[in-house]
Amino acid sequence: MPDGIIYLVGAGPGDPGLITLRGIECLRQAQVVVYDYLANEQLLNHAPPDAERIYAGKIGGRHNQEQEEINRLLVEKGQQGKIVVRLKGGDPFVFGRGGEECEALALAGLPFEVVPGVTAAVGAAAYAGIPLTHRDFTASVAFVTGQEGKDKSESGIDWDRLSLGDGTVVFYMGITSLRRNMQRMSKHGRDPHTPVALVRWATTSRQQVLTGTLADIADKAEKSGFKPPAITIVGDVVNLRDKLRWFDSRPLSGRRIVVTRAADQAGEFSSMLTSSGATIFECATIKLVEPESWDELDAAIGTLAGFDWLVLTSGNAVRFFFQRLNALGFDARALGRCKVCAVGPKTAEAIREHGIRPDLVPADYKAEGVVSEFARLDMIGKKVLFPRADRAREVIPSNLEQMGAQVTAPVAYRNILPDRLCPEALLALEKRCIDCITFTSSSTVLNLAELLGADLLADMLKGVAVASIGPITSRTCRDLGLKVDIEPQEYTLSSLNAAIQQYFSLPAH
């Protein structure tokens, strides 16, 4: 059996973008991933689909597996010749018990590698706008455990040295012992008025920051119900937060938004909103699949060079059309003299990725805008290929035919209901803790209404801002009794993101 290897990979403090390139390389070759509750689960997507995924974190505040069990598990998988990634929040060697795990591996004679990560103190401080060191305030910083071993009768921390001077002190996982730790610092010489910051769920869209002093931070934490996981930053550098905060002052910070795009398409829009500070619930209401038969599209592709125009109205149409073109052994050269119309800049961008520059991109992205552009041309006798979704509106083909064109409109993909809706998103809607729901096509609205029922949908969205990508989708929303609060002037995801930001920037919201 080939030798296995165990990689102890620091996942960073929460933001999946903070993992190192080496960490991602290890995940991509993993056969087993053992991860804890502070490691962002999005990182598991970097592992192969068939990799075994084992959760070894906490459930309800209790460890799902004790450290000795985790050590045995890593040794067992390593002895089986597996490539194992132990994915740990923060850095494995900074209060991550990575040293204990490596000792077990070394004792078993197994090879291992430690991949450092951004530790919580560094990530939390940066995302809270608090520099841990600053030449005008302090030149030193100390990382300290906030929870010493339960079997210790006396503290092993030198509180005198820790408390005296002006160095920044960061306590890891010390919320449950916050009052005791703050009292100890005051007792051993630190000024009770020294600023303190608590940072919870650092570097994620759920990040919360609470500030106070050694004297009052424990009372503030209790009053606000501040819970773990969090770190505590003590020092005058905390005062810089008012000037340097950036992460939690973004336009959508604290907003909870439901994205209803198809599962394989939600990422781009979700990333836009997340970058603006929002917490995203991806709730796919459509599933895009192949047509029941390719016959009609295949026949059109076989005579593609004989068409005058190819009209593609979405990135989905581009994707399915070119997938089928390639599957039949053709490439962009099969278009011959056929011109290409792209509806919207994103569709045009998708077409350019296939080495084709669209001949026509209507300024108005609605079907009516496409018709208006073609009305300027002589379409009599022109052959038009219009690969479409099974539920596409008939505006374009019917109007082109009225202009004298010969239109072939084969189904390139179908829009079907997903197997289920995201339970987390539904629970959030039921608890009335969603600020906004986004609809990027009429299908996303209609499918959600079909899955929930129109009456229940309208009830669940009371008090929720409805964001629609354009007038056609908005009309569908209104037909179902929904009030549309947000609609951009341009029917693009970036414009919708900007319109949502503008809406929530108003004082009333």
440 in Cβ contact with 493 (< 8 Å): yes
211 in Cβ contact with 240 (< 8 Å): no
The letter for the amino acid at 86 is R
Separation of alpha carbons 489 and 474, rounded Å: 12
Separation of alpha carbons 470 and 439, rounded Å: 9
Kindly give the residue spans of alpha helices, DSSP state H, lying in 276-394.
295-302, 315-327, 345-352, 367-374
Q: Has 431 been annotated as catalytic? A: no
Q: Has 1 been annotated as catalytic? A: no
Catalytic residue, chosen from 36, 82, 182, 379, is 36
Instruction: Output the CA angle 313-315-321, nearest 5 degrees.
Output: 80
What contacts 225, CB < 8 A, 6 or more positions away? none
Catalytic residue, chosen from 152, 160, 173, 182, is 173
Separation of alpha carbons 98 and 78, rounded Å: 16
Catalytic residue, chosen from 58, 220, 287, 383, is 58
Beta-bridge mates of residue 202: none
64 in Cβ contact with 56 (< 8 Å): yes
138 in Cβ contact with 163 (< 8 Å): no
The answer, yes or no, to whether the previous bond of 195 is cis (omega within 30 of 0) is no
477 in Cβ contact with 448 (< 8 Å): no
Separation of alpha carbons 9 and 5, rounded Å: 12
Separation of alpha carbons 235 and 225, rounded Å: 23
Separation of alpha carbons 12 and 18, rounded Å: 6
Q: Has 366 been annotated as catalytic? A: no
Q: If we measure between CA atoms, which residue out of 458, 453, 450, 457 comes closest to residue 417?
A: 450
Separation of alpha carbons 295 and 310, rounded Å: 18
Q: If we measure between CA atoms, which residue out of 157, 34, 156 comes closest to residue 96?
A: 34
Number of other residues whose CB lies within 10 A of the CB of residue 124: 30
Number of other residues whose CB lies within 10 A of the CB of residue 481: 13
What contacts 480, CB < 8 A, 6 or more positions away? 445, 446, 449, 454, 457, 458
The residues annotated with a catalytic role in the active site are 36, 58, 173
